[in-house]
């Protein structure tokens, strides 16, 4: 299962500009194939994107279908922020 970054205080999933396996750019949730890679790259990944304290972001496991649904919910729009509650429900909020 994939691993993603979830903000500890807000429950926001980390989304950014990415490139898919077909070399097409899209806006989606950053994921890693294994937990060790996610933990190992978390700090440098967030630092490269000038995100505050990397310790505020937890590495969490997300089912493959939930990850796909997360990217659908974002609608390839950087103005959207995606939150995942403890019950597994998504909430999308537009940036102002």
Q: Which residue has the tokens 């890693």?
A: 32
Residues 6+ apart with CB under 8 A from 68: none
pLDDT digits (tens, 9 = 90+) for 70-84: 999 999 999 999 999
CB–CB of 79/15 below 8 Å?
A: no
81, 91, 45, 24: CA torsion to nearest 10: -70
* pLDDT, block means (10 residues), the chain with 96 residues: 97 97 97 97 96 94 97 98 96 94
pLDDT (0 to 100) of residue 52: 86
What predicted TM-score, i.e. pTM, was given to this entire model?
A: 0.94
């Amino acid at each position: 299962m994939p691993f993603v970054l979830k903000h500890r205080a807000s429950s926001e999933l980390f989304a950014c500009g990415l490139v898919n396996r077909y070399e097409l750019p899209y806006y989606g949730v950053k994921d890693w194939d294994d937990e060790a890679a996610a933990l190992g790259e978390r700090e440098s990944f967030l630092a490269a994107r000038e995100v505050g304290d990397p310790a505020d972001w937890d590495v969490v496991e997300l089912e493959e279908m939930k990850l796909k649904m997360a990217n659908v919910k974002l609608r390839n729009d950087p103005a959207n922020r995606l939150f995942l509650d403890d019950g597994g429900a998504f909430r999308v909020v537009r940036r102002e």
